[in-house]
Structure 1
Amino acid sequence: MSVSPLPVLFEATYRSARHVGFGRPGPGARQTLYRVQDGQVAAAFVATDGSEAALRAALAEGAETVTVTVGDPEVRLLPPLLPTATGNALLSGFMGTHKKKWGGETAPLGAGFTPPKWFFKGFGDWVRLPGETLNVPARPVALIEEPEVALVYVNDEDGTPHYAGYTFGNDLCDIGLHRENPGYNPYCKLCDTALTPWLFLGAPPRTASGRVTIVRDGATAWEGTFDCGADDLYYRVREMAEHLFSFPAVRRPGLVNYVLLGADEASFHDGFRIADGDRIGIDVKSHGVTFENQVRYVSPAPLPGSAATVSTA
């Protein structure tokens, strides 16, 4: 795997303590972690300009350090800036944003902004990391993997959002249910989403491209390419973000927002159907990021009693 030269920050727990690290050295390399408190890294993005130099000065200087080997099982990576003590984070995103879905066009300038559809995916602690299982309802109509850019924001004490950077994710959902009835889209999104722990510092990427590989019973069942950078979108990222943050509900003080920018066409559009147990591997070749998650159909235990007998009085 090639490693992107772009500045990267990540957080992890090591022996029950929270740490921050910079960069992404290869497997087996040694790396220094800096001890931080829950919320300290998010606060640094509010207090500084968010550059690597400023963040290193705020978080690394004078901090207790530990040197670990990349891949150490005692190091558990975390979703970017996730406030583990409070769970004060939201995961949401935009739909139908790609040029492919608009005949290859870009939204005209100066014509007034018509926002894309938006969805709420879940709370921040619902996010799954690479290697973790993505649970979906037991009887989906037709699942789709969605490799996407996820922007990360943290609100200050007044509720003003501060952009921190971006990462990548797989917004797994039941597109078949959505196509049966667009009004079912909130149900369609009740599938786990994976985000990578690497927070890329800097503006949202103009280009981000890669390849999806779906493995079933040890063999490749489907593979294809994707593009999910800003240049591939019909909408302009700045306008989407400004519109979203015009709503007070996402401007609550201290809230971390993960905002998915939308996905390219994927396996579903090629006639493939994701099955229980499939492994979805996403290789963001432009950024040297690879991650894989297994899909698991989950049938929860039935509720006690019959729904038909529940009183509505």
Structure 2
Amino acid sequence: MRLVQFRDEDGNASVAIVEDAKTLVPLRGVASIAGLAKAALADGTTLVAAARDHMGDVRIDYDAVANTNRLLPPITHSDPAHFLVTGTGLTHLGSASARANMHKADNKQADETDSMKMFRMGIEGGKPKAGEKGVQPEWFYKGDGSVVVAPGADIPSPSFALDGSEEPEIAAIYLIDDEGVPVRLGYAIGNEFSDHVMERQNYLYLAHSKLRACALGPELLLGDLPSHVEGTSRIYRDGKVIWEKQFVSGEDNMSHSLANLEYHHFKYDLFRRPGDVHAHYFGTATLSFADGITVQDGDEFEISSETFGRPIRNRLKVQDEQPVRVRVI
């Protein structure tokens, strides 16, 4: 089952089951997936069962919702400060070579790079046996819920950015229950979006390069993630494809197990605060930047995978310079 969040014709937040590529089935009395999940937890049932219990008889046109920009991200929070967006890198087979292409230096160094060391550590210890703890992955913070843009919306790049290009990734969506236990609601396709030129200047700029907007959705896949996921990442300029590449994800294509990535995120107490929601990106091995592509204002990103239904599309919008002041009182 896949769910979407959207606004109805009166502007009210709503949730629907994706019946097929053209049809949505709105849920009665449900304004958010997080709210539906809380109700399911209170009733001791599953998110799938709760969604079926709220199914109505009405069917609406999926295209009509999408074409009027009424789709919302697949998870939201009434207070964006309680929606944490994070991710991991160097988790996919092939991701080390993509990172190496980004970080090519003019002089050749014999020593193994930190990126390659991190990748090798994941290969050797990223999929521990049950009951064992694996090696921790590279980890980064992107921001709170305010950085997540809706499907179809512009994805902003700040005026000071040196680059702003796509990263096609799968993100897992979580709600922290009243006991402080992370509850995985499902998975969404996403565009993690980063400043790769800044990162390439110095690897210690990785934290800065990740403090950018991102996109999720539109559909939330409930249940387990397939071990092999295929998709396509494209960039359009003036309506024409200027770059296209296939990508794969899922545990069969990763150097870390999902359980290991989850453990090393939620082992921190501050990430188990009741009522919070999390979107945690799992990494990628496919980047247009690694292939020498330089994006421009107005380019459109499209990331698609049959596993996640409708593609996610967002247009790059370079922001005007914004003055930064610090006041003293």
What TM-score do you get using the length of structure 2 for normalisation? 0.80
Q: Report the residue type matching 1:36 in the other structure.
A: V
Q: Indicate which of 49, 52, 77 corresponds to 2:48.
A: 52
**Counterpart of 2:249?**
228
Q: Does 1:81 align with 2:102?
A: no
Q: Report the residue type matching 2:25 in the other structure.
A: Q
**Counterpart of 1:68?**
60
Name which of structure 1's ranges 263-272 and 47-56 shifts more when overlaid on structure 2: 47-56
CA contact (8 A) 2:168 2:286 kept: no
Q: Does 1:25 align with 2:46?
A: no
Q: Does 1:144 align with 2:177?
A: no
Percent identity over paired residues:
29
Counterparts of 1:233-312 in structure 2, within 5 Å, are: 233-303=254-324
CA contact (8 A) 1:134 1:293 kept: yes
User: How many angstroms does 1:166 deviate by?
Assistant: 0.5
**Counterpart of 1:116?**
137
Counterparts of 1:148-167 in structure 2, within 5 Å, are: 148-167=169-188
What TM-score do you get using the length of structure 1 for normalisation? 0.84
1:29-63: CA deviations, max 9, x gaps?
46344222454213035334535234423x44xxx
Q: Does 1:42 align with 2:37?
A: yes
User: Structure 2, unaligned stretches of length 5 or more?
Assistant: 97-118
Q: Cα 1:253–1:10, aligned 2, differ >3 Å: closer, same or farther?
A: same
Give, in whole Å, the separation in 2 of the partners of 1:46 and 1:257.
Answer: 17
User: Structure 1, unaligned stretches of length 5 or more?
Assistant: 1-6
How many residues align? The count is 297
CA contact (8 A) 1:278 1:294 kept: yes
CA contact (8 A) 2:47 2:185 kept: no
Q: Cα 1:115–1:42, aligned 2, differ >3 Å: closer, same or farther?
A: same
Give, in whole Å, the separation in 2 of the partners of 1:186 and 1:217.
Answer: 32
Counterparts of 1:201-220 in structure 2, within 5 Å, are: 201-220=222-241
SS in structure 2 at match of 1:185: helix
User: How many angstroms does 1:232 deviate by?
Assistant: 1.2
CA contact (8 A) 2:221 2:308 kept: no
Give, in whole Å, the separation in 2 of the partners of 1:257 and 1:183.
Answer: 25
**Counterpart of 1:90?**
84
SS in structure 2 at match of 1:131: coil
After superposition, the CA RMSD in angstroms is 2.7
More helix by share: 2
Q: Report the residue type matching 2:11 in the other structure.
A: S
Give, in whole Å, the separation in 1 of the partners of 2:324 and 2:40.
Answer: 44
User: How many angstroms does 1:85 deviate by?
Assistant: 5.5
**Counterpart of 2:205?**
184
Q: Cα 1:65–1:17, aligned 2, differ >3 Å: closer, same or farther?
A: farther
SS in structure 2 at match of 1:302: coil
**Counterpart of 1:3?**
none
User: How many angstroms does 1:294 deviate by?
Assistant: 0.8
CA contact (8 A) 2:127 2:257 kept: no
User: How many angstroms does 1:128 deviate by?
Assistant: 0.9
CA contact (8 A) 1:230 1:237 kept: yes
Q: Cα 1:272–1:292, aligned 2, differ >3 Å: closer, same or farther?
A: same
Q: Cα 1:119–1:49, aligned 2, differ >3 Å: closer, same or farther?
A: farther
User: How many angstroms does 1:251 deviate by?
Assistant: 0.7
Name which of structure 1's ranges 252-261 and 87-96 shifts more when overlaid on structure 2: 87-96
CA contact (8 A) 2:143 2:212 kept: no
1:70-113: CA deviations, max 9, x gaps?
23357823222312366521111111111212479463645852
User: How many angstroms does 1:268 deviate by?
Assistant: 1.2
SS in structure 1 at match of 2:218: coil
User: How many angstroms does 1:282 deviate by?
Assistant: 1.3
